[in-house]
Amino acid sequence: MAEYLAGKNIVLGVTGGIAAYKAVEVASRLRKLGAEVHVIMTRAAQEFVTELTFREISGNPVNTGMWEKVLHWNVEHIALARLADLVLVVPATANLVAKLAAGMADDMLTTTILATQAPVFLAPAMNSNMYTNPVTQENLEKLKARGMRILPPASGHLACGIDGVGRLPEPVEIVSCVKAHFSAVCSLRGRKILVTAGGTIAPIDPVRFLGNRSSGKMGYRIAEEAAKRGAEVVLVSGVSALPDPEGVRTVRVETTEEMRSAVLQDFPDADAVIKAAAVADYRVKHVSEQKIKKSDGEWTIELERNPDILYELGRMKKHQVLVGFAAETQNLMEYAKKKLEKKNLDFIVANDVTMPGAGFRGETNIARLMFRDGKVEEHPLMKKAELAAIILDRVEEILPCG
Ligand code: PMT
């Protein structure tokens, strides 16, 4: 097995939940991938699994409290906090989540987490009522906002006899998240990536607007992938029901003009701009301040042109890599080529939105990437997250060094 985690020190916190036994498999898998695993067990965790099991599996002494005889660390909580490349808590009980949210440090695990500067991943597992309780949700939100990564629990049959959300994800999934964290190699660290997503709208009156079918999924997946690769990511989002992606500064806008000013603000120091948004090309000329009352007969709405944001960026561009999208229903490559040239893009992602599995709303897309030198890459049906990774790979290839 490839040693993806060789040289990485992972502090594995184990708290007192029925799923504590699954942390043994997590420790074993991490070690097989080459990681040094240092286990910290809370007092309650020791009621579920013995220290000996973790000592044997991890090959390292297990920390079970603040006041035991120090084995080989100097000031142990600080040493582990410093040593850690990642702190992973499996399972994270509601009690631990609450203590972390309050900034408490009353045992070895909470003290280590408070003292560490390493990324902290929590895998909560608990009874579903405890999990959905607003206080637990608030605590998790607080921790997320402070930069901790929450690995969402799965749904299914829980040890307390009911079905619901709160099951620990499978150890293999938890370990994949850790692996992905390190293998992302932070290839975009130090880069600023500006992404647009969702649709902009053209208000008609306070209750009506003209809009389009974009859900935001394509752009949000790109923003998430760029954040995973360590970039500073700004996501300018038109209308979308999706939650703000983790680790991304999300700016919500509605109209094309609002999107334009948000994009222009972050453009000068961006390294790359990826415009997946479906931007309204027209706005209503006379927007009514009051709801327009219906009357018999036809209603004609006069429209005027919105600015073409990407065209403007293409003219202003200096060092930035510019990526556009083309959503077409016919003549896909011909229209995409025109946009690539007119908007001065490095490449364009062309999707025929009439094809099943492509374009708006779904989780998948089918795309062709066209480059300035005329090269075309065909990408068959795949998840939008996978296409996002391909797009960012190409951006990385084009980005100037440094
Ligand atoms: O959001 P989803 O539901 O996941 O759907 C994804 C998608 C279909 C919206 C996405 O894959 C896509 O194709 N986005 C671009 C849609 C579009 O508006 O294409 P366009 O051909 O009209 O515009 C070309 C490019 O210019 C786009 O990058 C667009 O963001 C940009 N543009 C367009 C008009 C305008 N006034 N300003 C712009 O910046």
User: pLDDT by residue (tens digit) across 237-272?
Assistant: 999 999 998 888 999 999 999 999 999 999 999 999
Write down the pLDDT at residue 76: 60
Could you say which architecture CATH assigns to the domain 192-398?
Answer: 3-Layer(aba) Sandwich (3.40)
State residue 161's pLDDT score. Answer: 72
Q: Could you tell me if 81 and 88 are in contact, meaning their C-beta atoms sit under 8 angstroms apart?
A: no
Can you tell me whether residue 385 is helix, strand or coil? helix
Q: What pLDDT sits at residue 257?
A: 98
Cβ of 153 below 6 Å from ligand 1: no
Query: What is the structure's pLDDT at 159?
Result: 72
Instruction: Say yes or no: CB of residue 200 within 6 Å of ligand 1.
Output: no
Which atom of ligand 1 is least distant from the CA of 343? 26
Which tokens hold the place of 144?
A: 């997320």
Residues whose CB is less than 8 angstroms from the CB of residue 283 and which lie 6 or more positions away in sequence, other chains included: 202, 255, 256, 257, 303, 304, 305, 306
The residue type found at 328 is: E
What CATH class is the domain 2-183? alpha beta
CB distance 220 to ligand 1 below 6 Å = no
Q: What is the spatial distance between Cα 358 and Cα 80, in angstroms, rounded to a whole number? A: 48
Query: What is the per-residue pLDDT for 370?
Result: 97
Give the total residue count for the chain. 402
Q: Is 22 in the pocket of ligand 1 (CB under 6 A)?
A: no
Q: pLDDT value at position 96? A: 98
Q: What is the best residue among 195, 213, 214 to mutate for testing ligand 1's pocket, by most ligand atoms within 8 Å of CB?
A: 214
CA 353 to mean position of chain CA atoms: 25
**Which residues, in sequence order, are CB contacts of 378 under 8 Å at separation 6+?**
368
Catalytic-residue membership of 160: yes
Mutate to test the pocket of ligand 1, among 236, 310, 328 (most ligand atoms within 8 A of CB): 310
Q: Which single residue is written with the structure tokens 């209750």? A: 207
Atom of ligand 1 at shortest range from CA of 328: 21
All CATH 3.40.50.10300 domain ranges in the chain, comma separated: 192-398
Sheet of 364-371, strands arranged across: 249-252, 232-237, 192-197, 272-275, 321-328, 347-352, 364-371, 376-383
Q: What is the pLDDT of residue 66?
A: 65
pLDDT of residue 69: 53
- Measured in Å, residue 327 CA sits from the centre of ligand 1 at 6
- pTM of the predicted protein model: 0.65
Query: Is the shortest distance between the CB of 260 and ligand 1 below 6 Å?
Result: no
Element (H or E) spanning 351, and its range? Answer: strand 347-352
305, with CB counted inside 10 A (0-12, 13-18, 19+), is: exposed
Q: What is the pLDDT of residue 261?
A: 98
All CATH 3.40.50.1950 domain ranges of the chain, comma separated, are 2-183
Residues of the chain with pLDDT under 50: none
Catalytic choice (160, 177, 186, 401): 160
Assess whether the C-beta atom of 58 lies below 6 angstroms from ligand 1: no
- Are the beta carbons of 39 and 30 closer than 8 angstroms? no
